[in-house]
Amino acid sequence: MAVDTMTVGTTDVPTVPTIVLVGHGMVGQRFLEALADRGVTGRARVVVLCEEPRAAYDRVHLTSYFSGTTPDELALAEDGFMERHGIELRLGDPAVAVDRAARTVTARSGLTFGYDTLVLATGSYPFVPPVPGKDAEGCFVYRTIEDLLAIEEYAGTGGTGTVVGGGLLGLEAAGALKGLGLDTHVVEFAPRLMPVQIDEGGGEALRRTIEEMGVTVHTGVGTQAIVAGEDGRVAAMSLSDGSTLTTGLVVFSAGVRPRDQLARECGLPVGERGGIVVDERCRTADEAVYAIGECALAADGRVYGLVAPGYEMAETAAKTIAGDAGSFRGADLSTKLKLLGVDVASFGDAHGATPGCLDVLYSDSRSGVYKKLVVSREGVLLGGILVGDADSYGMLRPMTGSVPPVPPERLVLPAGAGGPVELGPSSLPDTAVICSCHNVTKGAILGAVAEHSCSTVPEIKKCTKAGTGCGSCLKVLGQLLPPAEDEGLCGCFAHTRQELYEIVRALRVTSFAALLDSHGREAARGGEGCEVCKPAVASVIASLAPSIGAPVHVLDGGQAALQDTNDHFLANLQRNGSYSIVPRIPGGEITPEKLIVIGEVARDFGLYTKITGGQRIDLFGARVDQLPLIWTRLVDAGFESGHAYGKALRTVKSCVGSTWCRYGVQDSVKMAIGLELRYRGLRSPHKLKSAVSGCARECAEARGKDFGIIATASGWNLYVGGNGGADPRHADLLAQDLSDAELVRLIDRFLMFYIRTADRLERTSAWLERIEGGLEHVRDVVVHDSLGICDELESLMSAHVAGYRDEWADTINDPERLSRFVSFVNAPDVPDPSVRFVEERDQVKPDLDLLAGPVLLAGPTLAIRTLEGTVTA
């Protein structure tokens, strides 16, 4: 790893680079071990930001907790590992923001860490289907030790428990509920259990065995609703076939989603279905940032949800950071588990996707055994499925891609029918991978035996790490030894922004505190939230406020505490601590009288003035205490907030259209003014910009906007999903030759559908490319009403239009709101001395020399900033 230097006088002094790891799960711990193995921890500062209250533990064997394994026994790091390698582990303090330009990471505690290298190992989070009642008391997910502790405590009352999801983790959860003494049900939407890993025959064999153990299985049905009793606790579940299942506890295990929110928020590319995009070295689009494990979308286009690929990614990232050659080109998806006491294994091309392949099957329904091998016509073993008897997995998986030494039928038949065949490790080449979790070959294991005198399985595990993952290779490890020896929006919510929007809308949640207490993670309830979820929820509540009965003004009630600095003061914070004022000028049309007012305000308060590309006038350089005075004059002159500070509609730009231009075919100015006044104040996941061009010459640049309108001889063409900036995108044609009424109706639907389904801070351009089905799906929804929600979308927009109030007009008439506009809360009459200017081109600009150094206040007074942090003199 290269060591940077800084020059002090004439001496180059080495500086210690900093590596920040976000996430401390299994993959994160493996990354730390790989760094330590290469000596990187000895020449770099390593900081780990961990969301959970405990260090990394073995999530693969999580269910063993219910059979007596303690949390300490599940811990992955050796005692003293962190201290020995100088690693700074911060438990319960996850990262909440990344500033790639400044190369800093901010933790939930408020601490900020600079980095030279950032590694995101944020894993995944459990997806909870957005069904009514899913947050009733008695509903859980199955992801962490804390989840298990909560399930164990709640299950003490006995009764019936139901698992939603019949995959790997769902069946493990079912085994846990069964072990806790509950009558257990499994509900799986697919027609069979474990649909990803095993085929129909294997699923049937698994189902029969599990049902014989007393677990009731429901396949081919979905969960419609969770029904709570009068006490608010789970009482029943409604299924899609019309039946009702009585249950007192529900565990959701319906899959996971990559936790890529940090990457999205700092502008790193993510996949259409989630996952941080990385190359073969596990680097993101920013060469200083890596992503590994379940949060990463690998170069082959997959998000890997197993520990083995995550470990390989960890090794690859560590190698690259250390300056060694490393690449991740995909990984083995083989897996072997014991679910409810039943051995289940899947490896290679288990479903026979290879053209021309053949199946070798053995099935015994009486004993619950099902075996299938997939082979090519040339006899090459391609993959297989083993249910009920997976003893041969440890040998068969390493043989994948080669021709077994015996006919394949002898590998699946029972004794007395031509099998079984005991194939020893001698039949495997030294290059065969024995431990897929850590990519350890047979040759490496034999080398540990010969060179390091490893004579026991624990010694092999310590020397090579083989067998320390899922454990499916332990039997083969023993056979290789000498004969005498053997042996988961943010940390506060487990929901996406889309899911939170639906919760707020459906349940009419009017405050952040209520949403956090009812739908936040257990550990976050009763807390204050974080800097990620607070503004996101504030935006959702604001966009729905007129429909759900929430305060419309962003500074009313609990909303004020959720806003970031810009919304908090209804103005844009600038680099020297001053603010800008942007009055709304709909369509760019302004009277001379209003121009004079703006000029007088700029003159009297000494503000810098700039005409923007959106046909507005920015006034820069106002102190926070001057904002109400300035806006009082502007409001009196008929101006209102331009919402340049909010994630809301900014402008609707226009050309002069048919009124003045000899090429114009429609009145673009009138349309632009009407649209801007209709959608003003509309809070959304990101800022919104629009434009109306009066003809095809496109002088308003409408196709570079979130929604753009271009006049035709027959009406209007509506384009959506465009933007300028660093990644420009031309908008796509949604509909053409629309009347005025048709145009407005489609824009209403489009904007509300975007607000409803987009991710936090996701522009319409990125949303349109990400959403499944893309433009055609959006057209089906908003033009053809394929989902039957257009009446609802239009109603939401109508409520917004009817409920709109100018934020600054309301603020200057409210003493309580005005009280926040001071530089220092304990010295309201003291202006901020750090806001200083110099002249340039007959206007003011920030004093850049002042910004380069510390700011001290004159006099003995302690002044507390209303922004973040304090300044003491």
Which residues pair with residue 197 across a beta bridge? none
pLDDT higher than 60, residue 826? no
CA distance 4 to 194: 50
Does the pLDDT value for residue 600 go beyond 90? yes
Contact between 492 and 70 (Cβ < 8 Å): no
Minimum mean pLDDT range among 4-18, 162-176, 701-715: 4-18
Q: What is the pLDDT of residues 217-227, one digit of tens each?
A: 999 999 999 99
Confidence of residue 38 (pLDDT cuts 50, 70, 90): very high
CATH superfamily of 647-802: Sulfite Reductase Hemoprotein, domain 1 (3.30.413.10)
- Per-residue pLDDT at 613: 85
CA distance 198 to 201: 8
Which pLDDT does position 255 carry in this prediction? 85
Per-residue model confidence as pLDDT tens digits over 278-301: 999 999 999 999 999 999 999 888
Of 640, 695, 615, 656, the C-alpha closest to 807 is 640
pLDDT in tens, 749-788: 999 999 999 998 899 999 998 888 889 999 999 999 999 9
- Cα–Cα distance between 738 and 48 in angstroms, integer? 55
What the block records as the tokens of 378 is 């040339």
Q: How confident is the model at residue 428 (pLDDT cuts 50, 70, 90)?
A: confident
Are the beta carbons of 741 and 749 closer than 8 angstroms? no
Stretch 172-195: mean pLDDT, rounded?
88
Spatial neighbors of 11 by CB under 8 A, at least 6 apart, are none
What is the 3-state composition of the chain as percent helix, strand, coil, each rounded to the nearest 5?
A: 35, 25, 45
Contacts of 448 by beta carbon, 8 Å cutoff, 6+ apart: 454, 459, 460, 463, 464
Q: Which band of pLDDT confidence, cut at 50, 70 and 90, is reported for residue 442? A: confident
Residue 778 CA to residue 731 CA, distance in Å, equals 13
- pLDDT confidence of residue 438: 75
Instruction: Considering the chain, tell me which residue range(s) the CATH 1.10.10.1100 domain(s) occupy.
Output: 425-487
Would you say residue 447 has pLDDT above 90? no
Could you tell me the two tokens for 748? 């209403």
Question: What pLDDT is stored for residue 791 in this prediction?
Answer: 94
- Numbered ranges of CATH 3.30.390 in the chain: 341-423
Distance CA 300, CA 31 (A): 21
> What does the pLDDT look like over 297-307, one tens digit per residue?
998 888 988 88
Query: Among 5-14, 256-265, 384-393, 790-799, which is the least confidently predicted range?
Result: 5-14
pLDDT value of position 365? 72
Position 124 scores a pLDDT of 92
pLDDT at 827: 52
Token code pair at residue 328: 């991740």
Average pLDDT over residues 168-177: 86
Residues with Cβ within 8 Å of residue 80, at least 6 apart in sequence: none
Predicted pLDDT of residue 561: 60
Strand partners, 68: none
Structure tokens that stand for 57 in this block: 């533990």
What is the C-alpha separation between 291 and 282, in angstroms, rounded?
Answer: 6
pLDDT score at 2: 41
Mean pLDDT along residues 134-144? 92
Alpha-carbon gap, residue 295 to 314, rounded angstroms: 12
**The one-letter amino acid at 215:** V
Q: Would you state the pLDDT for residue 858?
A: 31
> According to the model, what pLDDT value does residue 486 have?
33
Does the structure show a pLDDT above 50 at 607?
yes
**H or E segment at 317?**
helix 307-322
Please give the structure tokens belonging to residue 720.
């959506």
Token duo for residue 96: 């909440």
Helix ranges (DSSP H) in 774-847: 774-782, 790-803, 807-811, 815-818
Q: Lowest-pLDDT range, 29-38, 562-571, 695-704, 712-721? A: 562-571
pLDDT at 430: 77
| pLDDT score for 339 | 65
Q: At 814, is the pLDDT very low, low, confident or very high (cuts 50, 70, 90)?
A: confident
Least confident segment among 1-10, 349-358, 789-798:
1-10
Question: Which whole number is the average pLDDT over 455-459?
Answer: 76
Better-predicted residue by pLDDT, 720 or 861: 720
CATH 3.30.413.10 residue ranges for the chain: 647-802
Cα separation, 819 vs 236, whole angstroms: 50
Q: Name the packing angle between helices 168-179 and 145-154 (round to 10°).
A: 40
Residue 354 structure tokens: 């290879």
Helix (H, G, I), strand (E, B) or coil at 371: strand
- The answer to whether residue 856 scores a pLDDT higher than 50 is no
Q: Please state the pTM of the whole predicted model.
A: 0.50
CA 376 to CA 242: how far, in whole Å? 45
Q: Is the pLDDT of residue 426 over 80?
A: no
Mean per-residue pLDDT, 803-826: 82
Whether pLDDT at 69 is above 90: no
Burial 343-353 (b: 16+ CB within 10 A, else e): bbbbbbbbbbe
- What is the reported pLDDT for 412? 80
* Mean pLDDT for the stretch of residues 713-723: 93
Confidence of residue 270 (pLDDT cuts 50, 70, 90): very high
Residue 513 pLDDT exceeds 50: yes
Share of the chain above pLDDT 90, in %: 45
Most confident of 98-112, 418-432, 439-453, 466-480: 98-112
Average pLDDT, the chain: 85
Type of residue at 556? D
Closest to 20 in 3D by CA, of 99, 93, 119, 102: 119
Give the pLDDT score at 28. 95
The pLDDT, as a whole number, for residue 557 is 64
SS (H, E, C) 435-449: ECCCCEEHHHHHHHH
pLDDT at 523 over 80: no
Distances (CA, A) of 235 to 183, 244, 597, 691, 758: 14, 10, 64, 53, 33
Q: Where in the chain is the domain with CATH 3.50.50.60?
A: 5-125+258-322, 128-252
Find the helix packing angle between 497-507 and 740-757, rounded to 10°: 110
Q: What's the topology of domain 128-252?
A: FAD/NAD(P)-binding domain (3.50.50)
Contacts of 304 (CB under 8 A, 6+ apart): 293, 294, 296, 298, 310, 313, 331, 333
What pLDDT does residue 862 have?
32
Alpha helices in 38-99 (DSSP H): 71-74, 81-84
The closest alpha carbon to 234, from 165, 151, 297, 311, belongs to 151
Report the length, in residues, of the chain: 873
Residue 8 has pLDDT above 50, yes or no: no
Q: 510 with 550: CB under 8 angstroms? A: yes
Q: Which CATH architecture has domain 341-423?
A: 2-Layer Sandwich (3.30)
Nearest to 580 by CA among 504, 488, 645, 674: 645
State the pLDDT at residue 347.
85
Task: Find, among 345, 327, 325, the residue nearest to 336 by Cα.
Answer: 345
Coil, helix or strand for 476? helix
> Strands 124-126, 117-120: parallel, antiparallel or unpaired by DSSP?
unpaired
pLDDT of residue 385: 87
Token pair in block for residue 798: 């109508």
Q: What backbone phi and psi angles, to 5 degrees, belong to 409?
A: -65, -25
**pLDDT value at residue 866:** 33
Q: What is the reported pLDDT for 424?
A: 64
CA pair distance 424, 151, nearest whole angstrom: 43
In the chain, pLDDT over 70 holds for what percent of residues? 89
Fold of the CATH domain 5-125+258-322: FAD/NAD(P)-binding domain (3.50.50)
Query: Could you tell me which CATH class the domain 425-487 is placed in?
Result: mainly alpha
